[in-house]
Amino acid sequence: MEWSDLRIFLAISRTRTLLGAARMLNSSQPTVGRRIQALEAALGHKLFQRTASGFMLTDEGEQVLHHTEQIENNIHAMERNLIGREQMLSGHLKVSSSDWFGIHVLSEYIAEFSKINPNITVELNTDFRQLNLQKREADIVFRIIPFKDPDIVQRKVLAMNYALYANKEMKIDLTKKEQTLNIITMDGQFSEMPDNIWLRKKLSHANVVFMSNSRQAQAQYCLTSDAIAVLPTALGDSFHGLHRVELDETLPQRNVWIGYHKDLRQLSRLRAFIDYVSEKLSSDTRFIS
């Protein structure tokens, strides 16, 4: 039995299809099909039931999944421990954040950090998904939701301010109840974010004309339309064609958290990056009220 075959087994169990597993592993569908058949033959059990909705685990498959996930976790732990022993300021760092924060904030910081530390390669992944630090989908994650896993070291690095924006050609007076307004909101999966809830309550009769999980896309849409949007002020203020709409109240703030796996806390390049970015954020006038 080979670990490569177990990886294929895991990929099929997670995607439910041979094609999905092949894409996840950067392989081909026929190869994935042959290797899972070989694994089933080696174990002497059928691991999957082929159904109209995809590959479903058999009882034997569920047992194999439990043990294989333990093996996977042990391999990731070994990798993290080995990486955590490195002391030189060189190597690779995988950083993840939301799209706008990566574009308008981190990219600038990373460029400056790279000049100081040319032997460290920083890979920035702007993704709305909550990447798995256990599996090293990222080494460092910036996000507005605190981490719940006890193995994750986290720190609050920023209090994010928000404001209501419109393009500069629009004159908006929210005291006029008879007007019909168009608004831009987060999509359904982020509908319960505080700023989204505030916007729906404040403008309950407005027309929702655009929804996106990307703040960058919201700002761009706001710039070229007659719709208004709640945006982080560090993003909205960077668009010269937008202006803040006057309000008689302050919008809810959100905290920005940075997290990394505890096994990496002795990694010199990770500590150097976090210290550098934390210091830059503390003095960045875009985030000082």
Identify which of 114, 116, 141, 117 has the alpha carbon closest to the alpha carbon of residue 130. 141
The mean pLDDT values, 10 residues at a time, for the chain of 289 residues are: 83 90 89 89 89 89 88 79 63 91 94 93 81 73 88 90 92 73 83 81 86 92 94 93 89 90 87 92 81
pLDDT at residue number 178: 64
Phi/psi-derived region of residue 170, left when phi > 0, alpha when psi is between -120 and 50, beta in every other case: beta
pLDDT at residue number 173: 75
Q: How far is residue 195 from each of residues 40, 129, 162, 253, 256, measured CA to CA in Å?
A: 51, 19, 8, 8, 15
Strands 254-261 and 152-160: antiparallel
> Coil, strand, or helix at residue 232?
strand
